[in-house]
Chains A and B, each alone.
Chain A
């Protein structure tokens, strides 16, 4: 038995067994250890966008997915779009024009290597499995093989036809959706600014981009009513006395 076999076996066993409100089960940190990376993330994609982060190690991996969600560009999106693996063993040697907005963000997070595996079935891509590391280097042959196995196992777990998906739909309030706060803020803004949900989303994104803040943080400001889109559609921050 090789060193990672027991861990790999555990991940494969647990992946299809989410606890009801989650689509995937098991420990993402263990998954990162098997691949010798610092973090992993699984995002679903729809209509050319990463719609929701469903499984990830906390911190950088989640930040990377959010950055791509906000910026609308990045390797995970391209992996999904082209249904192909995108391996970037050294981000500093990646053409800076390829993702002009995303690459500086990744650098700011301290990420040096990124590997995006499409979760696809035939012509359809369900999402992307991303592994990231703070040190540059390719995945070795065994890690690459396990990453392919994991990608297929995640795909299989996502399309299972059982009660899991139904219980995910009916799960009691929020907190399990990574971007719940973004969806809630979108609803709030749509009422404040009297616009459609799609337009509300654009207002939220534009504000995050303009103020150079993460989308999730901006959404939290809206939900906490520290940021309003009532009179000024560019967003108005209420006086600091309200913040306490």
Chain B
């Protein structure tokens, strides 16, 4: 590749690549706005934990003072705090009920003033680490459906991933390794099927059955057996199942 062409490649790359423009706060703001449309709620906010273990608003569907004050109150009280501390979704909290809002009366009063009657908080977490909560507000009473809950949790997951993408996570390598391991298991089973099929003149399905017939009574993992077939370290005897030929 000539230097000139390499330069050209880099230039084209620079034009095509928008990641540098990707602003996570801006994205989370747009996500909050989209969430309002997706779930047909009145307002959404995304709160994450700061270095003092208190929740801070990072983005909201609209930036009216009323709403912002409502989030500001939640640094140490409210549904988001409960959600963050427990890692559990806090759903269908009736803001007009004294018992439902026990422990965060001032927040509930402020929410009612803003016109809201019900609120939900969904955990933002990766595995066991909770980093914040997505807060939903509605002016109409009613329960969040299971379907809406799943959508809301997906939005919380998206916010989590967007935030985590910005950091170099040590756990990322683990995630990737686990995903690759799951995939590799499937790949080596297919490869072993091909090997047995050619070696014993079996169809691929019969090759799979043969491996399974061997593995099951021995309580052996199929991937382990496939691995041995591939590495040529298998020292047992297969009894080919079925009489078909490929």
Contacts and interface: CB of A to CB of B under 8 A. Distances in A.
A146 interface: yes
21 contacts: A1-B37, A13-B150, A13-B154, A51-B183, A95-B12, A97-B5, A122-B169, A122-B172, A123-B168, A126-B179, A145-B34, A146-B34, A148-B22, A152-B159, A155-B165, A159-B126, A165-B179, A171-B186, A183-B188, A184-B193, A187-B198
Contact of B17 (A86, A157, A192): A86
A46 interface: yes
Contacts of B208: 173-174
A206 interface: no
A171 B208 CA distance: 12
Interface in A187-203: 187-192, 197
B144 interface: no
Contact of B187 (A2, A148, A183): A183
Contacts of A97: 5, 8-9
A207 interface: no
Pick the most buried of B147, B186, B187: most chain A CB atoms within 10 A of its CB: B186
B127 interface: yes
Given A5-B38, A85-B19, A149-B158, A158 B179 contact: yes
> 9 closest pairs, A vs B, by CB?
A187-B194, A183-B190, A156-B157, A12-B154, A122-B169, A124-B172, A184-B194, A191-B198, A152-B161
Contact of B19 (A84, A121, A225): A84
A8 interface: yes
A168 B182 CA distance: 7
A168 B186 CA distance: 8
B38 A124 contact: no
Q: What interface size band does chain B fall in?
A: 35 or more
B140 interface: no
B230 interface: yes
Interface in B171-194: 172-173, 175-176, 178-180, 182-183, 185-188, 190-194
A191 B175 contact: no
A16 B157 CA distance: 10
A202 B143 CA distance: 57
Given A146-B34, A159-B175, A174 B204 contact: yes
A98 B7 CA distance: 11
Interface string B192-213: 1111111100001100100000
A186 interface: yes
Q: What interface size band does chain A fall in?
A: 35 or more
Interface of B: 5, 8-9, 12-13, 16-19, 22, 27, 30-31, 34, 37-40, 126-127, 147, 150-151, 154-155, 157-162, 164-165, 167-169, 172-173, 175-176, 178-180, 182-183, 185-188, 190-199, 204-205, 208, 222-223, 230, 246
Given A97-B9, A156-B157, A187-B196, 17 more contacts: A2-B37, A82-B13, A84-B17, A85-B16, A98-B9, A121-B176, A145-B30, A146-B34, A156-B154, A159-B178, A168-B186, A170-B222, A177-B187, A184-B191, A184-B194, A185-B194, A191-B194
Interface on chain B toward A: helix, strand, loop, or mixed SS? helix
Contacts of A186: 191, 194
Interface of A: 1-2, 5, 8-9, 12-13, 15-17, 23, 44, 46, 51-52, 78, 82-88, 94-95, 97-98, 120-124, 126, 145-146, 148-149, 152-153, 155-159, 161, 165-166, 168-171, 173-174, 177, 180, 183-192, 197, 223, 225
A189 B191 CA distance: 10
Contacts of A165: 178-179, 182
A185 B36 CA distance: 49
Given A44-B183, A98-B12, A165-B182, A82 B17 contact: yes
A191 B151 contact: no
Given A173-B208, A197-B191, A46 B27 contact: no
B229 to A, nearest CB: 8
B204 A152 contact: no
A124 B8 contact: no
Contact of B161 (A84, A146, A156): A156
A121 B165 contact: yes
A157 B153 CA distance: 11
A150 B158 CA distance: 8
